[in-house]
Structure 1
Amino acid sequence: MNEIIIKAPIDGIVFPIEEVPDEVFAQKMIGDGISIDPSSSRLYAPIDGTIIQLHKALHAITIKHNSSLEVMIHIGLDSVKLKSQGFNSLVSEGDEVKAGELLITFDLEYVERHAKSLLTQIVLTNMDIVDSIEKSDGEAISNETTLMRVRISDSEADDIVVHSSSEVSSDIITILSPTGLHARPSGVLASIAKMFSSTITLHKGEDSADLKSSISIMSLNVEYQDRVLLKAIGDDAEDAIDILTAELQREFEAEDDHIIDTDTPSNAIVASDGIAIGEAYQVGSVEFDYDEYSEDIAQEISRLKDAIRRAESQIEREKSALTASQQEIYTAHQEILKDSRLLSLAIESIESKKSAEYGWHYAYDRVSKEISSLPNELLRDRAIDILDVGGRVMKVLMGDTTEIVLPSKKVILLANEITPSLLSSLPKDSILGFCSVVGGSTSHISIIARSLGIPALVGVDSSIVDIESGTQLILDAEVGELIVEPSKEAIDSALARQKEIEMERSDDLDRSSQPATTLDGREIEILANIAKGEEAIDILSHGGDGVGLFRTEYIFMDRDIAPTEDEQYEIYRDVALALHKRPIIIRTLDVGGDKPISYLSLPKEENPFLGMRGVRVGLENLELLKIQIRAILRASEHGEISIMFPMVSTIDEFRELKAIVEEERSRLSVDYIPIGIMVEVPSVAILADIFAKEVDFFSIGTNDLTQYTLAMDRGNAKLSKKADALDPSLLRLIKMTIDAARNEGIKVGVCGALASNPLATSLLVGMGIDELSLPISMVPHIKAKVRERSYTESKLLADEVLNADTTQEVYSILSKES
């Protein structure tokens, strides 16, 4: 049995192939191997052999050893889209190379910024000749570390299969994938082809490839709009052709890459609405140049701890000049600096004779990547805070005091990531708006943008970092578009819309104190969502009728211990006093494995959305729940307060919760207060008629109800557009809930994102909703939308929409009527 030593082709940290965030590699569709998170930009040959494949994008290369073992090295994920930009090859197909010979150099910064990931995979593509693999872990040093010991079977190649069947061919297939058949689709196709006993080939012109070999497929160099043909010989040839044809057409259809050019706008996430027209200003990523190694371990650990202390002091000094919401964000940053895992990862690296800079950068970069891959949007959006805090400590370590100086004219900022500390440090009168690749609607940078009234888009395509400073832009954060080098007509149109929106908002605000009454006299309560007590005063200035959702979890976060009963009571009481007897719905603590709190022993779950969340946590931490209930009951003596429970899924849960409230109410000798539930689980909507007999009100949480009904995570970039609360199935669940409430004479409202969608206002009114709860800033506009139409007209609209079969039909009807 032959043993082949495969050396590390690049410096970095070794990761199991199973942990690569790409199913083609993680599921070993191309082959087994190892992944490296690279720290250098030079790729070397891991074995002696012949270059049998070099992708034209220069991101993937395959070497064949004299034992016939084939080793593919794939730099980055989705790096094929870079089309060789940032890569330089020193070899060509057919070259003989020796282990340790330099093959490819690449621009580490450019690839990291534009590819999905820098993770580099070293894969054995012909596993049929491999008997066993012994893999290493930890740190990899190019040309030194033995990455894998591969034992090759002594047996000859498998017996040649002779087929008596006739050849079966597919129709001509046009390749629609913009990047052609690169490593990932090749791996998928080869994996499927191996399920069949037939010999299967892919043909392009006079050339052909063995479809059971991903390397062979890649070597065929199939590009966008190439015409190919499948052929198969064997007992299952027809099945193979049918399935593989469908796979080629289905799996690799053209993707919506949202590429920004001079004519095409790019959809994104609206962080803060508004329209900005002006020139671009690129905020480049901060790069740190430091020594990787240090022999003095104790000194490096001391330097790091001192830098962390100084960074914390910096934050404390800067907080005094910030708004209340920004101060809370900076307090969260101070908590990140105290995180034990960050420090332990850094120290672990330093103890392997790395410098403090290297160790700290490795630690925060790794943790931010882990968090950015989490399923929960709120947590995923916190990854940028870790990068922000990490960069702050790096600057302290390196004595970097440089600041960004903006041009004299107002500009639209463009960046891969815009951190809270960066935005807070820039003069607000110089910023028209901003766009960033990183970020979500709940990220701290989005919160700051909204508080400052700056139009902003996040989650924009990474191609924005290639837009040159000075380029004319329209940032339309009303519809989520960034238009590059717009025509004069587009600018004139945007200016007109900008003026129209400003006038409309001014008019809406002027009339915000008027009730939201339809043209035929039906009044709808327009309430506000709040997370902090001090927001209550803003409700009055925007014409809000009260609080429809007080998210109390923020009172419990960024603390070492739970808030006391008195602390909570004072917060709830102050809100009641500020609102002068207006209704206030207080939701009990809504946390779980996806919104962890340090002082609660919550399990880390594989799928936190289906685990310990909402009232399940409360019932497991009964004293914590009782303390909050008592604080709410005490505060109810100062205003019209109701209590609402999140994530209720069964009637037994509600009965248990109601009994607890009654028990605490009897102990305190206070009056009865309304007890309601969030309708955010399909089981509750389906049994709404049962719940309506026992609850005092419903509040429909369309965000989670959408996710649970459609089985789609809104934070998943590929699914977010399909996870739409205007899906007909969602609308029918909402209607079922409203009808059940009507039959029992209880109130029903909507407090999810759908409530703040102006397109849905008349629809919800027509479906019979009593109240809508939404962000404070949207209150005047939604009140105005209610006044535009009669209840009778809205009912007719709702009837038409509820008969729609698809989400597209729903949008078509609503757009026509708006």
Structure 2
Amino acid sequence: MTTAPLLPLHIKLNAKPTDKSTAILQVADLMEACKLTAPEYGASLLQREAVASTSLGHGIAIPHGMPAHRHLIRQTGVVILQIPEGLKWGDDTVHLVIGIAADTDAHLSLLQRLTRLLQPPSRLLSLFTTDRHEAFYELLGIQAPAHSPPSPQDDLPHRFEWRLAYPGGLHARPASEWAKTAHRFDAAIRVRRGNESADGRQIFELLRLGIMQGESLVVSAAGPEAESALQAMRITMLALCEPENRTAAPMPTIPPLDDRTSPDRIVSGAPASPGQVSAPTWRLRANQVDVADRPGTLQSESCRLELALGEALRSLTAQIEQSASRPDNNAQGILQAQRLMLDDRSLIAECCQLLAQGHGAAWSWQQTIENRARQLDASERPMVRARSADIRDIGRRVLDALGESMQTDWIAALPADRIVIADDLPPSEMARLLPGQVLGLCLAGSGPQAHTAILARALGLPCMVAAGATLLSVPDDTPAILDGARGELTLHPSSERTNHPRSVPSASDSAEVLPATLFANADTPEQWQRAREQGACGVGLMRSESLFLRAHDWLDEEAQCQAFRTMAKASVGHSLVIRLLDIGGDKAWPTLSLPEEDNPALGMRGVRLLLARPDLLEPHLRALYRAASHGPVSILIPMITSVEELLALREICEAVRLDLQAPPVPIGAMIEVPAAALLADSLAKHADFLSIGTNDLTQYALAMDRQHPRFAMDADARHPAVLRLIDRIAQAAQAHDCPLSVCGALAGQPGGAQLLCGLGIRSLSMVAAELPPVRAALRADSVDTLVERAKRALAADTLAAVRSLTEETG
């Protein structure tokens, strides 16, 4: 027998029956109108109610017919009668009457369980009074047919096209943000790649699309808030471009999972995180648990699952809060995505179906998780297969809460200074690691874009994945050298290699020699502290406008001075470069009453605005010079386009300094537009230092908005034109012995940092999370190799050619 979908005509809103019998007959009329039952089925509903009340409590009744009358059912399905004012139903007051037409008891049991899981009560209360059919689909985990396309290839009425610019593709973190945004609106949202489509609210469906970088997709919507939903989706998708580009790494080719030990005692896999380390091995042995099916009553097993889900969510929330103190935000983002997976209605509903068939809670949950994971494992796309680890990870968390322990405190048992070997490592376990607890990581399974690999890169931890079953036969305490950039584990290396490995020093190892000094982009003392823990030598960029963004208000001279003074005191013994207010353009500030411009990116912003508004500039400079007596402050002028602007700002700075009798500070020019790049030779004569902002330099040089949905992927600082501008700046700075640094996104990319060093730039600034992978990349090759690679990049004709040069290095 077929099952009818829940359609709007199955739901009657704002019903006003006078008594219970009338309500049941209205339900029967709905069933007949929807062609679920024969006309005589109404009498069967009344007869069943006379036997025992069908009220579930909590404002819900589920009238259904007598088993002897199932021949009157034409199609399995449900109808819903909403009674906002409430109706007396025995000793209870009912607001929702859910009529069931089913030829078995499975749908009855499933609805009972779903009702229990729709907690907190506010979720049910919202259904009692809603005037939206869609609200029932959302809370019951059912897709709204009224807003669904007739086929996967068709889009909803409102739509926009986009090309995915995330280097790691649509993985769990961005997919969770898309789903959260979609849930905010009264609209159905559909995401389509080719002929495959997904509900924009369902993270599992989005992940199954396996959208890769550069692929086109269509986002469409229908419903009362369709246009607002699409606008919000576009903003969310664009806002994720920068963090996704910052944390991603090139996708290496994944070797097949087989035995690949070569005669020279090398176990090969796929590179996942660069760096070399020499240390003994230690194998993490998985705690496999065979979950037996121990059936209980539906009520008892439902309660067990409900309690376990709550405990798992609390545990996950606590770990998310703990991860906030980490030097990177990758772990927090991954765990937040897992929390959204755990709260997925369709996942719970699938488990409930097994519960309703008489299976135990733990067995039902494991079967549900494995079914979802196998669906992802079967994908042809490596990125989709990598997400199965997240599904199994949340599955283990709930099983642990159910008493089927699958986790051990392996970190407490881990010997010091080891290369860890494992079949796989759940992302939540990897998120517990702190820098220094493990020297290297080798996995038999997983993939370079799995969340475990992403976290390894964030930690600067050399990592190899997809090494196959041979890896698991390596005995504990085997001397080895792990090369994460090449995906190789050398067993029993020669004494020469053991004595001279390119090993991973700690962040505090001052003897480390790199081709560039690494600084931090940090706006607060807390960010600076995290960067120091990762080995940063100073603050290469503090964005002064961040003070105002955090305060959500304009700050006077005293408030600015206090913030700068705190940062200066925290930086004593290091360096602190503070960029003057970079507002205007796309960084407008509401309280400034800036004039509207047709093209604000080419209008009043940066240094132009500062020179035009002495009421902003002078208190800003006074605050900086007052703070300079407490620490090593340098001033950086944004958006310079001419020597005249630089000289004018220097003159104002000197006047403020003399008025305050403050110490002199270095004053630098930020090179962010082609004009400044072409004038670098002249600017170097008048600036104490130069700093390249590759983000703006790229979009101005290429006339391409880096947040544009069609062009974001091509707005790449590795473009030959941008690299040649950077090379021109580097040569000018060297000719005038003017210190030069790069503080844009290119400096924080391992391959980009290598190119910059090859061009002769010896100072790079980036966020704390980027320091370990960049350090590992700079350590991986000699200066001569970097110079040769940079020459090849400068000679390249296309962006693709430069990308291949950087990506082949891992």
Quickly name the TM-score band, shorter chain normalised.
0.3 to 0.5
TM-score scaled by length of structure 1: 0.47
TM-score scaled by length of structure 2: 0.47
Which has a greater percent of strand?
1
Higher relative contact order (CA 8 A, sep 6+): 2
